[in-house]
Every structure is written in structure tokens, then in C-alpha cells.
Amino acid sequence: MSNNYRGLSTKAVHGGDKRDLPQRSLTFPIFQTSTYWFKDTEELCGYMDGKLDREEYGRYGNYTEKAAENKLAELEGAQACALFSSGMTATTFTLLGMLSQGQHLVITSDSYRRTRQFCLTYLKKFGIDVTIVPPGDYDAMEGAITKKTKLIFSESPTNPYLNVLDLEKVAAIGKKHRVKTIIDATFATPYNQRPIEFGIDLVIHSATKYLGGHNDLLAGAVLGKEPMVEAIREVRGVMGGIVDPHNAYLLLRGLKTFALRLEKQNETAQALAEFLEGHPKVERVYYPGLKSHPHHDIALKQMKGFGGVVSFEIKGSLQEGSRLVDATKIPYIAPSLGGVESLIEQPSLMSFYELTTEERLAVGIKDSLIRYAVGIEDKEDLIADIEQALEKV
């Protein structure tokens, strides 16, 4: 449902909504039911024939979930959206729905580690070949394509080094070889970048992060043209994994302030990155808004803002990084990102704890690396806090 609103904040509040909600409710209600009843067999047959737009059973759809899907589609500029119980459910069901035994997937090496793990471990069990290529190496990406290749998958920006893909190049490679392209745009959000506008076929979000925005829900979304999204919905209908009504309601709640939050997080992260880059105890800062970032020019071309995550390396060891993290007083030591509270972590001790230093280096994770996901606190407070923490390193 399109209301043709122009501004993103207006879309975030009103996009995809019906004005006359049940009982004149201002917010879309939670339809806390697993099943829906029919008044007679004529109505049932009308629904089965596709003549009635309504729901039947909670695994196939829920009115609260549909309202969130409509709003997300408006924000992303997509024809359709399918919501899932988590970002990983959205990713895995999309790959399972679009790939068959004997086919081939190309994925970049800096995609989310659980996505790579699923591709290398579980897809291979189904007889699906996977080729990993370096980020930003478009010759390698195109060179990896074979007659069996059906999908190219990547993220932009990526985690934790915030590499930014040239989406027009990726889309052109896909179209040239008749290969579908998928971008996980969780870090960018529709506020900063809308991959569909650059020719990408499908966009995935962990709605747990910026879209929900309050660190209180799990959800994932797949967006694109209706026929492809409908095919993925069919997988969801068979295998489950739909978002529950209460989480869909929380997502709708969070989306209303989405643009306001992102504007502030972009501004704060840029200021934090600039401060860190000028600090003598910081070795390097990774943030697309900095001229020093290798993909700064691409980010300028295709992004409105550069996101709320800043990664940086300190001049020191893993232990010194821990002293810095422990000395901060505002951010919580926690995984995830995109919420109103700032979060900080050392990837070596969070996502890659089970690996040795040598194994971490092999996948590009340095012991001196720290990831800071800014919330909506005042930037002056966050900078003063990280400054006093750096004094203790």
C-alpha cells in the first residue's frame, strides 16, 4: 500500500498505514491470535480462491505483521516485504528458497560470520556450492560466476570494517550474467541507502537493529519485487519463522522514530570517528564518512549518511583494548547495534572468542579492534567518555 509520501520521516510515521484502524485506534493493534475464523464455507472458499484479502493462520500471516511489512516496503522503496523472526531467519530462508541442489552462490568474505557459516556448512549439505570472494574485488566477483551461479550475496556497509560496495557495479554484474543480487543493508538502513534504487534485486535487514531501534525485539526482513518476495513467503509458510505479533507491534512502534534516530546516530558517529582519528592512542579508524576510509568516495555517491557504527584499532594489545572498553561509562559491553543505547565490544572477545589470534587474523579480525555502536545520547558526552577511557590505556 503506497501513500506517496515524499519525506522519510513522514513515511516512517504514516507509510503503509490505513487511516481507519479497528475501533479508531491511533496505533496499529496487536492481533494476538494464532488462527482466524470464517463465518461460513462460502467465505472460506472465497479466501481460498484469492477473492478475499484476509488472514487464515498465524504461520502464514498476521495483521500486525502485515502492517509492519507495508511500512518497511514504503521506507525501502520496494514492492513487497516479508518479515521473519530474526535477521538470520530472513537470510537463511531467502537462500534456501532461491537455491537448489547443484547450484552456486557467490558471497563476499566480509559478510556476517553466521551467514558465511550457514553457506559453508549447511548449504553445502544440500549440494549447493559456495565461492567466497574479497570485498570490493569486482573482477573476482565476476570471475567466480559459472553457469550454475544463481545468486551474489554481500553486505554494505559490512561488519566490522564498514566496507561499502559499489552497488551499481554489483547490480551490473548480476544483470550481465542473469544472476540475482542480494544485499544485507542492516548497517545502512533505508535512511542512508536503498540498494533497490541501484538495481539490486533483494534487500535484507536485521530489523532487530536500527529499524526496531530499542534493543527489545528480534525480527528480519526481505524486500524486493513481489514475485520474488512471494516465493520466499512460501518458504516461510512451510518452515515457520514468522515474526510474532508482539514483536511486529514493537517494530511498528520503533519505525515511527526511525528517521529521527538515524539522523542523530549519523551525526554522532561522524563526530566520534573524527575525534578518534585525531587521537594519538588510536591506530586507525574505520568509518565511511572519513576521507581516510578506502570506500569514502563510493559512500559519498550512494549514501545519505554513514551509519551509527565506528570501528577502530588502538595502539596496543587485546588487554589494552579491554582496559579501554572497561573504562567507558556510557556504552554497555554487548553485541548488536542500532538501538537507543550505545554499545561497545571487542570482536576478538565477542564474536570470535573461540578462535586463536592467528585464526582471527586469518579472517581479518585484529586483537586491537574495537566496535562502537552509538545510540542517541549526546555526542559531547560520548566523546568525553571515550576520551577519559583512552587516558587509562
Residues ≥6 apart with Cβ < 8 Å to 138: 166, 169, 170, 173
| Domains of the chain listed by start with CATH number | 8-255 (3.40.640.10), 258-390 (3.90.1150.10)
Grid cell 554481500 is found at: 154
Report residue 187 as a C-alpha cell: 548497517
What pLDDT was estimated at residue 364?
74
Q: Which pLDDT value is given to residue 24? A: 85
pTM, whole model, 2 decimals? 0.94
What confidence score (pLDDT) does residue 5 get? 67
The pLDDT assigned to 19 comes to 80
Q: Is the dihedral of CA 222, 227, 233, 239 positive or negative?
A: negative
Q: Are 54 and 36 in contact (CB under 8 A)?
A: yes
In tens digits, the chain (393 residues) has pLDDT values of 456 767 899 999 998 888 888 888 899 999 999 999 999 999 999 999 999 989 999 999 999 999 999 999 999 999 999 999 999 999 999 999 999 999 999 999 989 989 999 999 999 999 999 999 998 999 999 999 999 999 999 999 999 999 999 999 999 999 999 999 999 999 999 999 999 999 999 999 999 999 999 999 999 999 999 999 999 999 999 999 999 999 999 999 999 999 999 999 999 999 999 999 999 999 999 999 999 999 999 999 999 999 999 999 999 898 999 999 999 999 999 999 999 999 999 988 877 766 777 767 776 778 999 999 999 999 999 999 999 999 999
Residues marked as catalytic: 59, 112, 184, 209
Rounded distance, CA 168 to CA 170, Å?
A: 5
- Omega of the bond leading into 294 within 30 degrees of 0 (cis): no
In whole angstroms, give the CA distance from residue 200 to residue 194.
9
Residue at grid coordinates 520474488: 228
- Residue 158's alpha-carbon distances to 93, 164, 268, 327, 354, in angstroms, are 21, 7, 19, 27, 21
* Enclosing H/E stretch for 224: strand 220-224
**Bridge partners, residue 343, by sequence:** 332, 373
Tell me the three cell numbers of residue 308: 551509527
Give the contacts of 18 (CB within 8 A, at least 6 positions apart). 1
Residue 119 contacts residue 107 (beta carbons within 8 Å): yes
* Confidence at residue 353, expressed as pLDDT on a 0 to 100 scale: 63
48 contacts: CB under 8 Å, gap ≥ 6: none
Task: Compute the distance between CA of residue 265 and CA of residue 273 in angstroms, rounded to an integer.
Answer: 12
d(CA 290, CA 270): 8
For Cα atoms 204, 107, 112, give the angle at the middle one, nearest 5 degrees: 55
Which pLDDT value is given to residue 358?
A: 74
